Amino acid sequence: MLKSLTVSNFKAFKEPVTIDFSTTGNYAFNTEAVKNGIVKTAVMYGKNASGKSSLGLAIFDIVGTLTDNYVNQANYINYLNRFSYKNVVSFEYKFSFHNQEIIYSYSKVDFKNLISEKLIINNKTLVEYDRFKSMNLTLNFEGAENVNIQLNQLNFSILRFVKANVILAKNEENLLFEEMYQFVNRMLLFWSLERREFVGYTPVSGQSLIDKIVKEGHFSDLQRFFKDAGFDDELEHVNINGTEQLVIKYGENNTMDFGLACSSGMSSLLLVYYWLEDIADESKCPSFIFIDEFDAFYHFELSYFIIERLKSYNCQVLLTTHNTSIFTNDLLRPDCYYICSKDKIVNAHNATLKEIRFGHNLEKLYRGGTFGK
């Protein structure tokens, strides 16, 4: 799981900020939202332009660095913070697998160009270089002893080079390296209805939502998903010129195109289902899901429904929202609610000296400034 990320000089963040999923409290309720001492299901609040979207892109910068999965580089224009005099962006990711920590840090001048990398597993430095200091490369993977690569020959991540070209020994550090790589390869970010865009998880873009759902045999599950979410309209699919289309059935023989008849909430819910249709399959489940403004088109009951569903699955989730009605101990717990600003990211548990209990009204405390401004 992702334990923490520290980023500096990136988009909204001039100085280093850290989101730490391991600073949890000892709460006896909603325990399924935390796994092995790391927050598994989190919701983030923050004012407009507080850095929530910048944080999502920062977390997923590693996807473009290490994988071939889809990234729209237009999202990474204005890479450096415009108020900073520094000319590099720095990232430090901490992962935890089997209670063992992996630290991967790197710096860039823009989305494509790496300046430095460092990988530490079990307190052992496996990769380290800094082009600003020298052209020396430390490469300590067992199995990579005979690799002869010069930094001036490499224009992408050395980790990516090792993963693609070197057969590593099956020792503990290398197996953890492989596990980290698989985690990053299955990370998924997507935006709500207005953008219909994503980062990670697959190298493919531009798929038809319904065509994929039908052809992969998930349509009956989609119908159940909509019913569980409280939508009573009967859904069907029809094949038009070889492509499956979604329709809403009225009466015996009357149908209407889903896109013309549905609300914004239903369209947004369809998009959520499209990305999460395989989430119950362990081999296809995303490792980390970030949904920006996940409930922009939802009634608060539907927001509850989405979070409850995500909480039940074996994936790490971070959602951003402005909907304070879901800031409640009935749904999650204080260490799962994060407050974001350009200077600091902290969860409610660590944002106050007040001892928070199940009976506290978190929404009222947040609106009253208990967790800071």
Rounded CA separation 129/66 (Å): 16
Number of H-type helices and E-type strands within the chain: 10, 19
Which two structure tokens, joined as six digits, stand for 290?
């970030």
pLDDT in tens, 79-135: 999 998 889 999 999 999 999 999 999 999 999 999 999 999 999 999 999 999 998
The pLDDT confidence band at residue 296, using thresholds 50, 70 and 90, is confident
Which two structure tokens, joined as six digits, stand for 52?
């929530």
Q: How many CA atoms lie within 13 A of 7 on its CB side?
A: 26
Rounded CA separation 90/20 (Å): 16
CB contact at 8 A, 180 and 97: yes
Average of per-residue pLDDT across 27-53: 94
Q: Which amino acid is at 3?
A: K
Using alpha carbons, list the distances in angstroms from residue 38 to 3, 25, 32, 218: 7, 10, 11, 32
Reduce the DSSP state of residue 26 to 3 states and report it. coil
Tell me: pLDDT of 196 over 70: no
Rounded CA separation 21/94 (Å): 10
Show the domains of the chain with their CATH numbers. Answer: 2-201+286-367 (3.40.50.300), 205-280 (no CATH)
Rounded CA separation 335/42 (Å): 8
CB contact set of 250 (below 8 Å; sequence gap of 6+): 256
- Which residue reads 């979070």 in tokens? 307
Instruction: Classify strands 288-292 and 187-191 as parallel, antiparallel or unpaired.
Output: parallel
CB contact at 8 A, 104 and 173: no
Tell me: pLDDT of 194 over 70: no
Q: What's the pLDDT score for residue 202?
A: 79
Q: What's the pLDDT score for residue 153?
A: 83
Which two structure tokens, joined as six digits, stand for 257?
């195109």
Mean pLDDT of the chain: 90
CB contact set of 145 (below 8 Å; sequence gap of 6+): none
CB contact at 8 A, 1 and 97: yes
